[in-house]
A and B are shown apart, each in its own frame.
Chain A
Amino acid sequence: MSKNYYDAADLRKFSKITEWSEELGNKFFDYYGKVFEEGALTAREKSLIALAVAHTEQCPYCIDAYTKDGLQRGVTKEEMMEAIHVGAAIKSGATLVHGVQMMNKVNKLDG
């Protein structure tokens, strides 16, 4: 058992989650695979969305996976960084928009 919470090599073992819950695991991976297929959005666009979400979720496995996936699809580092900024903008926007709630409360409580 590793002393670290995260081990990069664990990503390779992701599919093993099915071993302890076969039906749910298989359903998840079928769904996951389907989501990333070419659809109304291209697989390349989906990869960039995944990369941005990987950062907002702060999932190191997902960051590794979708950085590599982007490189495989010819995505440039500039495109990757811009995608992350989109995620960061939404994250900070989501924080700041709650400032209105704070303002509402102050106005209500303190006139």
Chain B
Amino acid sequence: MATATKSLKKQGSDLAQSNKQLEILSNGIFKSGELPTFKEKISETNQFPLKAKKLEILQINVGYMCNQVCDHCHVDAGPDRKEIMTRDTMRQCLEVIKNSGAHTLDLTGGAPEMNPDFRWFVEEAAKVGIKDFIVRSNLTIIRANKKYYDLPDFFKKHNVHVVSSMPHWTRGKTDKQRGDGVFDKSIKALQELNDRGYGMPDSDLRLDLVYNPSGAFLPGDQTAMEKDFKKALLEDFGIQFHNLFAITNLPIARFLDFLIASENYEDYMYQLVDAYNPAAVESVMCTNTLSISWDGYLFDCDFNQMLELPVNSKAKHISEFNEELLEGRKIVISQHCYGCTAGAGSSCQGSVA
């Protein structure tokens, strides 16, 4: 995969449009019946319709702007994306955080730190005393500009749980997926986080890494990968971290673009369908998560957000949030959902089955 410099949106690509992506995912091998649709597949085990359970995780996407343009990015994020959550919408989110039963707050992007109100939001949200407060940091942002150099201290001050992408323990594979120089900057950022106590064996300052494959293949066993990552990062750079989350690339946005351009799309969909695991459906993240977009709309997950598939509920915006109304809602599905049910399953917290 070659590293892009512009988002699909900026390039004016057809695949920047969610309806085009959904069309591809519904036609071809799924329309012809060569492969079962996700609905048909989960119906085989009486798991249709998939319904939301009790809300546990609020995942807030504070904007699509990012300092990187990663090949696999399902958000199609990049420096040219201008969608940013306003402080007014953040205030509405804070109300929901205070009043909902969710135990985890998960801030994502883009690079969430690039939102000018990011620090204000973290300070306010930390006051609510949520059990697990995650920021998905791409690591390089910490070294991108002087104004971000103190982020490790800021995270520590607010006891933020840092979750960061790290596609491989070698420079070559990391830079191929995430851009030149990303590996060295990520290593430096991880060392700085370690210096603050993040990721150390007995530390409460949680540092987890996210691994997702660099190409058209599924992630390997999460436990085995974690062992390999820990050994290599410790031996080569003295770096420690807590857990590795192995995440499957879902066939949307830039990864879908890559699959089609490299003629891997059909093979990849076969892999996902062949690896379908009904046990993973039980714990799939959309059943306990609510995804909130930069402009306050509600989605079953971050992927549905990017495909512009809103929640199937009367409450469609953070201003209309109603936990009772949202619980039990039917999850909106398409063929991309196979990505979360392949093998050991996949979620923003890694394997689920």
Contact = CB atoms under 8 A, between A and B. Distances in A.
Interface in A19-77: 38, 42-44, 68, 71-74, 76
Contacts of B154: none
Contacts of A43: 221, 224
A51 B221 CA distance: 18
A71 B217 contact: yes
Contacts of B197: none
A58 to B, nearest CB: 22
A76 B170 contact: yes
A73 B170 CA distance: 14
B172 A74 contact: no
B274 A71 contact: no
Interface string A72-93: 1110100000000000000000
Contacts, number: 34
A72 B270 contact: no
Contact of A72 (B169, B220, B229): B220
Given A44-B224, A74-B168, A12 B217 contact: no
A105 B217 CA distance: 52
Nearest to B173: A76
B228 A74 contact: yes
Contacts of A38: 224
A68 B218 CA distance: 9
B172 A72 contact: no
B328 interface: no
Interface string B148-176: 00000000000000000000111011000
Q: Is the contact region of chain B dominated by helix, strand, or loop, or is it mixed?
A: loop
Contact of A42 (B211, B224, B229): B224
A73 B169 CA distance: 12
A17 B252 CA distance: 34
B179 to A, nearest CB: 19
Interface string B267-280: 00010001000000
B224 A71 contact: no
B225 interface: yes
A6 to B, nearest CB: 16
B224 A73 contact: yes
B63 interface: no
B225 A74 contact: yes
B270 to A, nearest CB: 6
Given A12-B270, A12-B274, A72 B213 contact: yes
A72 B219 CA distance: 5
Nearest to A72: B220
B164 to A, nearest CB: 17
Contacts of B218: 72
B79 interface: no
Centre residue among A38, A42, A43, A71 by max chain B CB count within 10 A? A71
12 contacts: A12-B270, A44-B224, A68-B217, A71-B214, A71-B215, A71-B217, A72-B219, A73-B228, A74-B169, A74-B229, A76-B170, A76-B172
Interface of B: 168-170, 172-173, 211, 213-215, 217-221, 224-225, 228-229, 270, 274
